[in-house]
Amino acid sequence: MSGQPGLIELQFIDMTGQLRSIDIDTERFKNAIRLGKIVDGSSINMKPLEKSDLLLKPIMETYFQLPWNSDVARVLCDMYEPAQKVEDFGKEKEFEISPRYALKKMIKRIEAEGYSFHTSCEMEFFAITENRPYDRAGYMAPPPMDKIAPLRREIVKTLSKVNIQGEYTHHEVSTGQYEICFRHNEALRTADNVMTFKYIAKNLASMQNLTLSLMPKPYTGINGSGMHIHMSLFDSEGTENLFFGGGELLSKLATHFMGGILKHARAISALAASTVNSYKRLLAGYEAPVYVCWGYMNRSALIRIPSFNSPQLARLELRMPDPCCNPYLVFAAILAAGLWGISEKVDPGAPWDKNAYFHHEGLDVIPATLKEALDELEKDKLIREALGSSLMDHYLKIKRREWSEYQKLYPEWNPNEITEWERNKYLEFF
């Protein structure tokens, strides 16, 4: 790629997990690297109107020129409180309710305990044209039945150009649905990669006059889209997978970590399945979890232990999250619950070896609506402490408003109806 870009797109992530951006020229970018860039935080529900300014500082390791337009570069930014005095210039504090900051704080905590947290994500999505799925193919269908195969491959190739290594990609179960999974990395890097994936994939799809939608359940009667999170604790150097247990497959550390997640799963759902529409995906029979349990290879369980043939690949797979979630908040909550599970030596119970959709005696149930999930989150002291009360209260306020908007139009909850309100709110914007 030759030449310098004329514009740099400063990107940052709001509370709901949506990417926001502002373009600046190269001269202003040089200043932004040193001093930051002030933006209006009130218009994206991050700050009050009377104290609206928000300071963005570029994270230079996320900088790259757009592979499809070298005249533009992008860079993710951290959010800071602007200095109120001249002597505080350059000493600004990170914004208290920044989702990325919440994860950074949790990562510092695990580093102090001698761990590193590695994650990868399965990104499922629909390609849509004229309000319908782009093709009629099914699971792992090859081209030409899989009409989007060239675009999927282009997305993976483009990701590799910006140092995000795709592991595999294929057609998913539903018509017009696909999956791209990228290689595991340290959790903050993975969360950044999730946001970069969304940006790249949506742009490349748009160039082909397609809508790439991460909405969890755009259509009834078929599987929705998840963002399954694979996770392991490694040693501080990131070389030894501490979830591997030898003959037991999983270590005690792994099972206690899992026990903590299961105990806090109902609260975590408000972050991992963060939209009204999310709970129309979490229904029995659609390869999405409904019951709080774990099992080896069991795709009806909340946490699945995938088969692995190397100690480095021992991991948990949390199947509740969907692509509309804010990955920074979800990773932070998972870490809080998992570390608590380790400290309390929480027993996750016996693995569930049955189809939980049909055999669920004695199992707890995932919340059925966003409201129910938010109620669980509000009373979870552990996650409140991890995220911070200010962030938690702000998130609850935004999400309760979202639920209220929906309920005013649709007072009766129907998990089998995808409303016009949901499509307008989620189909294109996530």
Q: How far apart are CA 207 and CA 199, in angstroms?
A: 13
| Exposure of 103 in the CB half-sphere (CA atoms within 13 A) | 23
Q: Look over the chain and give the mean of its residue pLDDT values, rounded to a whole number.
A: 95
> What are the tens digits of pLDDT across the range 51-63?
899 999 999 999 9
pLDDT at 2: 57
Token pair of 250, please?
């999983």
Q: Look at strands 69-80 and 7-13 and give their pairing.
A: parallel
Q: 7-95 maps to which CATH number?
A: 3.10.20.70
Token pair of 374, please?
């938010």
What predicted TM-score, i.e. pTM, was given to this entire model? 0.96
Closest CA to 31 of 9, 12, 53, 58: 58
Token pair of 251, please?
């270590």
> What are the tens digits of pLDDT across the range 196-249?
999 999 999 999 999 999 999 999 999 999 999 999 999 999 999 999 998 788
Residue keyed to tokens 């294929």 = 170
- What is the architecture of the domain spanning 102-427? 2-Layer Sandwich (3.30)
Domain boundaries, the chain: 7-95, 102-427
Contact between 161 and 69 (Cβ < 8 Å):
no
